[in-house]
Amino acid sequence: MQVFNHKQQSRVLNHYFLGSWFVMLFLISGYLAEINWDSGWAITFSLAVYFSYAAIYLLPAYFLTTLFHRLLVKFQSSSLSRTQTILVNSVAIILVVFTNVLIYADGTVFTIFGFHLNGFVWNLVTTPGGIDSMGGGGASYISVALILTGILLTQLGWMLVLNIGYGKRLAHRHHTPLKIYRYLMVVFFILTLSERASYVMGDIYAYGPVYTTASAFPFYKQTKFRTLADWLDIEVKKRNELKASVESGVLKYPLQPLKIEAPAKPLNIIWLVAESLRWDMLDKSIMPASWSFSKKAHRFTRQYSGGIGTRMGMFSMFYGLYGPYWNQFLAERRSPVLIDVLREQDYQLEMFTSAKFSYPEFDKTIFSHIPEKHLHQDARGEPPERDRINIDRMISFMENRDKKRPFMTFMFFESTHARYYYPEKNNIRDVTLDEINYLTMSRESLAKDIDQIKNRYINASHYVDIQIGRLLNYLKKKKLIENTIVIITGDHGEEFMEKGRWGHNSDFVEEQIRAPLVLWIPGSGSSVVESISSHMDIIPTILPWLGVKNDASDYSQGYNLLGQDKRPYAVVSDWDRIAYIGPEYKYSIPYKRGALYHEKVKDKNDKIISDDAFFFAKHQQDLLKIITGMKTFRAGNSKKTYTNKNISNTK
């Protein structure tokens, strides 16, 4: 390691970060696949963002390294010592490698799932059981090690080059490097200025490709100009848009005290949820046991989850409320009224999962008032083994229960979660991908392998059905089916590149938001319901059978699935948006401050429609009702919860 004076060391660091900029250009090149290259404006803006943000991502590392270097300079009159030089260079390498890894991880997540590192990913990493829920295989872990090693060796090698021979000559060139960096600073300033100006103009004229590019790059900072444009009397193109906000405030849930007349012969409840089980898996060739059972029960063919992820999908099921309420219910450790009623009526409660109750935090929300000894989870073995063992345990519980008391039991199947697990002997699709490696996936490899990946999912769905069939056979054999409510559903759907993504948690497309629902309630008959229904409707359907006399609006935002009133539209949420899902149209509304989305009206098949004026003219009251519904179960908060900008021009 060469020893330089302070100015020479600064030049070495400048050269190092310049080389790292080229590495960053390579790492973020994948985001360019999302760009619309259909106009000069879009091309100019996209390239300006690409080249400038490759530098912006490195700025924190550059400033921290420079600050550390200058702090050492204060205590040295001449050159740094060898140890101090190594220390400065190490700080630069560590910070740049961390930045490279962060951007690479974001690019991988974005390529596969369509969203950037956000609150969901942070929660995934920091919550116990989160990483395990992704189902990464051995090849994925090896890939992580290889990628980290490759990035580290690249940065270390570049620093060594700059400190051995060639680097020393560069450090002693006093004029040319200075001129180069002055020119580069001018170029960076021009790129940043043109990029900012392009975004401002795109926002003023509601130019879609600008929003597409901005949302493709992580941590993009918006520049809003509309207020200033109004002040300068610059005509701004009107946009049909709504924005919502989630506010703090004490929960008021339920809105009114429950009026309960406990039934003389209470019904048992068995609640079965399969991870990522989408609606079209309920097919006689894939899930024959569930399909056969559904013919005697109520089957809902257009059932929508309340979220595009497990957290809000399950929350909407058990609470009957919009997903954005999740955080406050978590903060207050508030259980759903269903569990409160069951405990009051002395139900035996035994809950099983082949995942973990801590991720998402169901032990702090849905099941927070159930003693831990009644929450059964097992992380040993592969998901199929856990699913089988948990059904064994559930049957054992029912066999040995107190026969004089009703019971409620819940099971969460994990086999249908990616990587989609199943015993080979139970497969019904032979051509499958043996190993799923998230870190080496690209759009091209996904497109090539997606059919085989989906075959794994179909096989896993079939295996889950085998376990459901075992349970149903037990219920029939013991004649428990005659006095037991049975619910079979999925927490949300799963996409296999039908709309350009794999998995869930990325967009409100049919494949990600629709799940099957089979509802058996003794004495209620059977039906096939083809109109819109929602996970939020399950609780308002069940509670009356438990003797709850309140109107459903006192404790939920759902409808009784067996009642006369039909749901006009569904409401689905993710971490940043809440969506209207109607019979013909879809529209999502950002509710997080700073959320970067240019929302478009889509038809029921997820195609963007060119003229959204008709939609807003006809449905604005529905949208405003959804937004105001985000504060219905909060008390003591009088702040405005929505804006209604530019919507009147659609009438």
CA distance 544 to 548: 5
Give the pLDDT of residue 95: 95
CA distance 342 to 348: 8
What's the mean pLDDT in 364-376? 96
DSSP 62-122: HHHHHHHHHHHHTT-SSPPPHHHHHHHHHHHHHHHHHHHHHHHHHHHHHHHHS--S-HHHH
Burial class (CB in 10 A: 0-12, 13-18, 19+), 312: buried
Instruction: Band the pLDDT of 180: cuts 50, 70, 90.
Output: confident
Lowest mean pLDDT among 159-173, 221-235, 484-498, 512-526: 221-235
Joined tokens for residue 114: 């369509």
CA distance 511 to 490: 12
| Residue of higher predicted confidence among 527 and 121 | 527
CA distance 624 to 242: 8
Give the pLDDT of residue 531: 96
What's the mean pLDDT in 362-380? 92
Tokens 């207050």 label which residue? 332
**Percent of all residues in the chain with a pLDDT value above 70, rounded to a whole number:** 80
Tens of pLDDT, residue by residue over 382-417, are 999 999 999 999 999 999 999 999 999 999 999 999
| Residue of higher predicted confidence among 471 and 424 | 471
| Residue of higher predicted confidence among 569 and 500 | 569
* Cross-strand bridge partners of residue 409: 270, 350
Lowest mean pLDDT among 98-102, 216-220, 591-595, 613-617: 591-595
CA distance 362 to 548: 24
Do 502 and 314 touch, CB atoms closer than 8 A?
no
What's the mean pLDDT in 115-141? 56
Question: CA-based Rg of the chain, rounded to a whole angstrom?
Answer: 28
Flag whether pLDDT at 456 surpasses 90.
Answer: yes
Instruction: Band the pLDDT of 112: cuts 50, 70, 90.
Output: low
CA distance 343 to 369: 9
Tokens 């019979």 label which residue? 583
Tens of pLDDT, residue by residue over 5-58, are 677 778 888 889 989 999 999 988 888 877 767 677 778 888 888 888 888 999
**Percent of all residues in the chain with a pLDDT value above 90, rounded to a whole number:** 51
Kindly list the structural domains of the chain, giving each domain's residue range(s) and its CATH number in brackets, ordered by start: 6-231 (no CATH), 265-559 (3.40.720.10)
Tens of pLDDT, residue by residue over 188-218, are 888 878 777 777 766 666 566 676 777 778 8
Top mean pLDDT of 25-29, 81-85, 145-149, 468-472 is at 468-472
Query: Mean pLDDT score of the chain, rounded to an integer?
Result: 84
Half-sphere exposure of 647 (CA within 13 A, CB side): 17
Give the pLDDT of residue 639: 38
